[in-house]
Structure 1
């Protein structure tokens, strides 16, 4: 795995509600971050987004699989180009899934410039992450899946 991807993985292995300031060690000041639920611009907005996401999470862990890139990798700390990471996130939230573990598979497309991530886009099933964990919506989504499947 490239040094740039190792830095990203290590960040997410350490990240919790008390350490969102660590984001600036990996992300550029003008980062564009997008996932199925939000899009944010800039490191301050990203820090605020993660602080809000992690505020009520009891635990969160990432396992990373099949890293690729960054393509056009340069010297350590100066990597540029595209990279991909697939991952498994396991988290626990007191108001979701009766406080039990929730596991979500996803992938991240990362664009590096001079060793920092300038664009980050996450791909995952938002229903699996959130909507299906809420009792009322779980039933509605289950019904829709059965009707469409």
Structure 2
């Protein structure tokens, strides 16, 4: 299948980077542009600490996006970096629809049992439920 615009959500973790690797592979195969998205979650932290939390998240986001850009450059894939603010799943789905993307790629951490139940509201699951665009959830490899 050919793609023009692939959105990859990242937060810089090894789980997310598996999704980044897959998105870059797909883009290299089809000549697509990768749109890397990092969302600063404005729902984290206490109100008095909010500026510090956002500042830290923005720095982490820039680092994560730079990593995606470096991975894309190594593979000869064009990467556009996008730092957004808000609720992650809503921002990812809204951004994807706004640029008329063909695919969303997200790495998953492969939780099961009680851990999966406790994290049932994961960003990946929320995106899967809300997106009208196909979503590729990439599981971790055995070393992650």
Tell me the TM-score normalized by structure 1: 0.28
Higher strand fraction: Structure 1 or Structure 2?
1
Structure 1 or 2: larger helix share?
A: 2
Compute the TM-score of the two structures, normalised by the length of structure 2.
Answer: 0.29
Higher relative contact order, structure no. (Cα contacts within 8 Å, ≥ 6 residues apart): 2
Larger Rg: 1
